[in-house]
Chain A
């Protein structure tokens, strides 16, 4: 420890602490622009110059490590003179356009200028003008305002993983720019808006909408992935105008993914359903809540009374709150149905009943960046969990070895030590090889159960799999790690995999052999929560897949757009179309719901209170940040009244908190959660390792900005480069074998359904896989997202 003194206050700090960190610790404010605790130190703005005893020149507090006995003066004459002179330099070329600048009122330069700026400028020469750059639909640029602090450059390079912005030119001509004709396409790009200390980078969708002091700020939770990022929603006149991160080091640090930041624009979509609607003789009629709910209840009762509860299927989106999920389950059970599920995109349910608890990520989010060895199976990380990818990127930057087993080789913008890019079937094979290789490593004293051992007998281990096993076991570095912190994770693709059971069982066995953390990266905001609540088929109940395969007469849909959210779009479309009765709680009008009978306008997350449980088991409740639009009502209220109207018991709730209490049985949520989170298998299931398959398989990934109903309707996100017309992508060798040319139109067929798409050469895919995204209107005519697929010349 070092003893230093800042402005006369003594403080003890660690070796390597910089002056600015020590001052922050003491609550002494040193002005700064380029310094950011999450980024490398640039020391280029010079605003944080302070006086240090025995040094003739002022030193930058951000870049100067303290030494024992150092006496630092942040407000001495010399320090303030230096700071004021830097402020003067910063302002000479900065435009005086605060009145029309979106940053006005929340601008570091403005704030610090109040304290350190002069009332009038001594600069009477020409000012610099810098041309603006178009870097995409999310971030607006006013480059003349830029003070070249390079926070944006450093963020994209160090956190985003790719240097998408840089400073070109020298001296006064230095300017921040993207590569020629390129936009900034990082899935974390919006953070540069927060980082920019001036109005050079501002939010394009928010541009000129409001002044910061006109906005009401309310805390909430981001609803688009399983991370549970904490957000602050900014509202004016009852309308959400922007979303910013709340700083939460253990979840989202101070960042936010673009999906969580810009999805709010979808809340104001013209698609919003604002009144209850009933279909009479094929015609939609607007109606009031009482009529709608009575009608819905009557229909549900008629069918369940006549044909039994098993004719009702309940599909709940994993983005619904725990309260909504719970009440939907109560209704299903009350009507005698055990057909309820939230795992809309899962295709393999053989594990049901075999797990010991609620599947979760197996560790806490910050643990990821401390790991030494990481194996990710079936995940397009940046696409599925942008901020989790950032944690892994940090681990890799610190020397962790990352291995991937994936059916595509998308660039994760981090160093991958080992990768197996193979067909979905071969993914199982590779895991079996890793398991076999690992059981052969002498250092591991644990043995595999005989059934698994027998199974692995015929497996031949490839070099690559051997290398992965050795990496995971902590071998392969010059000095072996005694106990590497290892993590094995299954991503969204693995969870939609037709042989999820095999992937899961093998991965779990690998994890137990090498003592690794084993986890599931939950795809949606409340996947883990919905499981905990028990939105799962009962003993003879049907799961999400079976409910569509054997169509039900009645469906209750909570926040679901069936043809976009389910694993088999064509089947979902047909089941809904042919059902006698479909009651949909939905925030949006949508094409598939044309076939419904009752549409009940449900409030999206900003307009309801509720609870999400993240992939790490964190239970986070939030309140409505704005009033429901039109006649929209919070989901829990709708379901409660529906329960009452149906005459069911157990629906006497006056608030979402009461529903939450019922879920947790009056116990502390954390107690319930920690008792229930468990990824272990109760027993080994019969799994098959070797399956020879010569059929073409579809890789039906969910594009990042199609993951749920709100995101799909956010115009700025839909304008990004990440959103492209869907294509049928395949390896060049496969193209040749099929006699197709890159770019030609092809017929893509699954079962009876077919669509016309452009063929695209993509050598990041293994042979035997055709990548056709799901959750898009065009491809919503197709079938199973990882099923068999045919491609022929159109």
Chain B
């Protein structure tokens, strides 16, 4: 099995490593590397000192940690939804099923620092009374799945997961589950269905997983990065984590920077970093070209023209004020050679291909959107198409079982909103107004 000994990417001293703090060590994914940075001490402390669950939750609440999978729901609040007294098995699930184009941060967590995730999950299990946990890993990163399996073996052998941990009655079994590459399985209830061995399709909510999750039992589902932040929070205190970021966006955030930058990759920085600084860390726009647009949080977040994002800070409120959202922190940078029409076709194809087909607006609507955009790209566009696209997107949005419908509508709505003249030009001339090759 190949381990990724050395990070393949450039690192910057402007980064603040919380989730990736083993980086720089030989074999950063190893148990030893994690122990070197103080790993598993927090778990041991909580379990041996029988720290009260409410105290843990208080720290998590203080930390300002919000769900890193994209929705940004306060993690401490979510934990408090789990029934405290329940006669039966409670479950813990980690969502490592990142599948949106441009999203690759969780991959690097299990690739470089899997033990911190394991400790974070074990702490959550201790806090929430979960007996069994699953880490659901995206099906297309098999090597990283194996790294995580190795880490589980190490943790099990070292007595950090399993029966009667640290000589107490606390037991927690953690298993890795791999998906088969369906984007929809990143939706927490579809993920749960998939763990149960069923077709990955979102469930209607309510009931939420906290009351009806895996096998119908109370289940807490968090993103990889969220769990991985937990040991640091308990080591340094919730306030310290909050202080790393800005109000309402505590801690650090891993940004997967891709597109037209000199040094694409994952960068873990403090919340609230100005966009321009993050762009700098990634080496700036490649070949010295002009910035045209940025998708700040992944394709399901609205695209922002350069002017709108230049003054923005990279945190929940900052991006929200600027007209988009933080999402999963998957920043796609587009330079002046980018044709927005062709880019939208690419994105629409993704959602069309990945819609699960369960509910009507998304199943039918994503195909409709894609076909119209494709027709425009092929030079067959009609002037009415832009209003049609806007209308169809609005009809999908907010009317589906899960958020995939909204995710599919967002790029269409925001691309047309911000780059309408470019679309009109394409329709009128049957070709792109951008002469470059990039899509």
> What is A's interface to B at a CB cutoff of 8 Å?
41-47, 49, 56-58, 60, 63, 82, 85-86, 88-90, 92-93, 122-123, 125-126, 128, 147-148, 166-174
| B414 shortest CB reach to chain A, Å | 19
Of B74-82, B160-168, B224-232, B394-402, the one touching chain A: B394-402
* Binding stretch for chain A, among B53-61, B300-308, B340-348, B349-357: B349-357
CA distance A125 to B381 in the complex (A): 12
Q: Tell me whether B43 is interfacial, beta carbon within 8 Å.
A: no
In the assembled complex, B137 has its CB within 8 A of some CB on chain A: no
Closest partner residue, chain B, to A172 (CB atom): B367
Closest to A94 in B: B364
CB-based contact A89/B357 at 8 Å: no
* Distance in Å: Cβ of A371 to nearest Cβ of chain B: 24
Chain A positions within 8 Å of B355 at CB level? 170-172
Minimum CB–CB distance for A561 against chain B, Å: 48
A148–B361 CB distance below 8 A: no
A57 to B364, CA, bound (A): 19
CB of B63 within 8 Å of the partner chain: no
Interface residues of B in 343-384 (CB under 8 A from A): 352-368, 371-372, 375
User: Are B357's CB and A173's CB within 8 A?
Assistant: yes
Which residues of B sit under 8 angstroms from A45, Cβ to Cβ?
A: 359-360
Q: Shortest beta-carbon distance, A28 to chain B, in Å?
A: 20
B128 interfacial by beta-carbon distance below 8 Å: no
**How far, in Å, is B255 (CB) from chain A's closest CB?**
29
Q: Hey, what's the 0/1 contact readout for B386-423 against A, CB within 8 Å counting as 1?
A: 00100000010011110000000000000000000000
A47 vs B399: C-alpha distance when bound (angstroms): 10
Please tell me which one of the listed residues B199, B356, B361, B371 contacts residue A89 in the complex, with CB atoms under 8 A apart.
B361
Of the candidates A56, A57, A123, the one whose C-beta lies within 8 Å of that of B368 is: A123
- Asked if A82 and B399 make an inter-chain contact with CB atoms under 8 angstroms apart, the answer reads yes
Q: Tell yes or no: B204 within 8 A of A by CB.
A: yes
Q: Which residues of B contact A57 (CB under 8 A)?
A: 398-399
Contact A93 B399 (CB under 8 A): no
Bitwise interface map of B from 149 to 182 toward A, beta carbon under 8 Å scored 1, else 0: 0000000000000000000000000000000001
> In the complex, A601→B259 CA distance in Å?
85
A92 / chain B contacts, CB cutoff of 8 Å: 364, 368
| Separation of A171 and B355 alpha carbons in the complex (Å) | 4
Contact with A along B197-226 (1 / 0, CB 8 A): 001000010000000000000000000000
Please report the C-alpha to C-alpha distance between residue A174 and residue B365 in the assembled complex, in whole angstroms: 14
- Asked if B371 contacts A125 (CB within 8 A), the reply is yes
Q: A60 contacts B363, CB within 8 Å?
A: no
Answer yes or no: B427 CB below 8 A from chain A CBs. Answer: no
**Contact call A93/B401, Cβ cutoff below 8 A:** no
CA distance A166 to B358 in the complex (A): 12
Nearest-Cβ distance from residue A39 to partner chain B, whole angstroms: 14
Question: Residues of B contacting A126 with CB < 8 Å?
Answer: 371
Q: Which of A41, A93, A122 contacts B364 (CB 8 A)?
A: A93
Query: Within the complex, what minimum Cβ distance (angstroms) separates A346 from chain B?
Result: 47
B184 CB-CB contact with A under 8 Å: yes
Chain B nearest CB from A631 CB (Å) reads 56
Known contacts being A58-B398, A88-B395, A125-B368, is A41 close to B204, with CB within 8 Å? yes
B65 → chain A closest CB, angstroms: 26
User: In the complex the two chains form, is A43's CB within 8 Å of B401's CB?
Assistant: yes
29 residue pairs bridging A and B, Cβ less than 8 Å apart: A41-B204, A44-B359, A44-B360, A44-B401, A46-B359, A46-B361, A46-B399, A46-B400, A57-B399, A58-B398, A63-B204, A89-B365, A92-B364, A122-B388, A125-B368, A125-B371, A147-B360, A148-B357, A148-B358, A148-B360, A169-B357, A170-B182, A170-B184, A170-B355, A171-B357, A171-B366, A172-B363, A173-B357, A174-B363
Out of A41, A42, A85, A123, which one reaches B361, CB within 8 Å?
Answer: A85
Q: How far is the CA of A89 from the CA of B409 in the complex (A)?
A: 14
- A89-B368, A169-B357, A172-B366 are known contacts; what are 16 more A-B pairs with Cβ within 8 Å? A43-B359, A44-B358, A45-B359, A46-B399, A63-B204, A85-B399, A125-B368, A148-B360, A170-B353, A170-B355, A171-B357, A171-B363, A172-B352, A172-B355, A173-B357, A174-B356
**Minimum Cβ distance to chain B for residue A122 (Å):** 6
- B112 shortest CB reach to chain A, Å: 32
CB <8 Å contact, B363 and A86 = no
Total contacting residues, chain B, CB less than 8 A: 30
B368 close to A170 (CB less than 8 A): no
CA distance A473 to B398 in the complex (A): 53
**Contacting residue for A86 out of B353, B375, B399, CB 8 A:** B399
- In the complex, are the beta carbons of A90 and B359 less than 8 A apart? no
Contact partners of B204 in chain A: CB under 8 A = 41-43, 60, 63
Shortest Cβ distance from A90 into B: residue: B360
By a CB distance below 8 angstroms, the chain A residues around B371 are 125-126
Interface contact B375-A125, CB-CB below 8 Å: yes
What separation, in Å, do the CA atoms of A147 and B364 have in the docked complex? 10
Alpha-carbon distance A169/B204, docked complex (angstroms): 20
- Say which residue of A46, A166, A167, A171 sits within 8 Å of B353 (CB atoms): A171
Q: List the B residue with the shortest CB-CB distance to A85.
A: B395
Q: Which residues of A contact B357 (CB under 8 A)?
A: 148, 167, 169-174
Q: How far is the CA of A345 from the CA of B363 in the complex (A)?
A: 55
- Closest chain A CB from B399 CB (angstroms): 6
Instruction: Determine the chain B residues whose CB is within 8 A of the CB of A122 once the complex forms.
Output: 388
Establish whether residues A167 and B199, one from each chain, have CB atoms under 8 Å apart when the complex forms. Answer: yes
Hey, which chain B residues are within 8 Å of A63, CB to CB?
Answer: 204
Are B353 and A89 neighbours in the complex by a CB distance under 8 Å?
Answer: no
Determine the chain B residues whose CB is within 8 A of the CB of A166 once the complex forms: 199
Inter-chain contacts of A169 with B (CB < 8 A): 357
Contacts of A128 in B (CB 8 A): 367
- Out of A49, A167, A171, which one reaches B367, CB within 8 Å? A171
Docked pose: A123 CA to B400 CA in angstroms: 20
Contacts known (A148-B357, A171-B355, A172-B363); A125 close to B399, Cβ less than 8 A: no
A126 to B352, CA, bound (A): 14
Within 8 Å by CB of B395, from A56, A89, A167, A173, lies A89
A669 CA to B388 CA, complexed, in Å = 66
* CB-CB nearest in chain B for A166: B199
Q: Is the CB of B398 within 8 A of A170?
A: no
**Which residues of B lie under 8 Å from residue A123 when comparing CB positions?**
368
Q: Report B294 CB to chain A, min CB distance, Å.
A: 27
- Give the nearest-CB partner of B405 in chain A: A46
> What is the CA–CA distance of A574 and B363 in the complex, to the nearest angstrom?
66
Q: How far is A326 from B184 in the complex, measured between Cα atoms in Å?
A: 66
Contact present for B399 and A148 (CB under 8 Å): no
Of B359, B364, B366, the most chain A CB neighbours within 10 A belong to: B364
Bound state CA distance, A128 and B366, in angstroms?
A: 13
Whether B364 pairs with A172 at a CB distance below 8 angstroms is: yes
Q: Top 9 nearest A-B pairs by Cβ distance? A: A174-B357, A171-B355, A85-B395, A89-B364, A125-B371, A57-B398, A43-B204, A172-B367, A171-B357
Chain B residues whose C-beta falls within 8 Å of the C-beta of A174 in the assembled complex: 356-358, 363
Nearest Cβ on chain B to A30's Cβ, whole angstroms = 15
Q: Which residues of A contact B395 (CB under 8 A)?
A: 85, 88-89
Q: How far is the CA of A470 from the CA of B260 in the complex (A)?
A: 73
- Are A170 and B361 touching (Cβ within 8 A)? no
B residues less than 8 Å from A47 (CB atoms): 360
Nearest A residue to B204 via CB reads A43
Give bound CA distance, A43 to B360, whole Å: 10
Residue of B nearest to A126 (CB): B371
How far does the alpha carbon of A166 sit from the alpha carbon of B201 in the complex, in Å? 13
**Residue among B366, B372, B395 with the most chain A CB within 10 A?**
B395
How long is the Cα–Cα vector from A126 to B371 in the complex, in angstroms? Answer: 8
Chain B: which residue is nearest A81 at the CB level?
B395
Q: Which B residue's beta carbon lies closest to that of A174?
A: B357
Q: Decide if A125 touches B358 in the complex (CB within 8 Å).
A: no
Q: Please, which residues of chain B bring their CB within 8 A of the CB of A46? A: 359-361, 399-400
Interface residues as binary, B259-289 with A (CB distance below 8 Å gives 1, 0 otherwise) = 0000000000000000000000000000000
Q: Which of A89, A125, A126, A168 has the most CB of B within 10 A?
A: A89
Once the chains are docked, how many angstroms separate the CA of A388 from the CA of B361?
A: 39
Closest CB in chain A relative to B186 CB, distance in Å: 14
Interface centre among A44, A60, A63 (most CB of B within 10 A): A44
A170 touching B356 in the complex, CB below 8 Å, given contacts A43-B204, A123-B368, A126-B371: yes
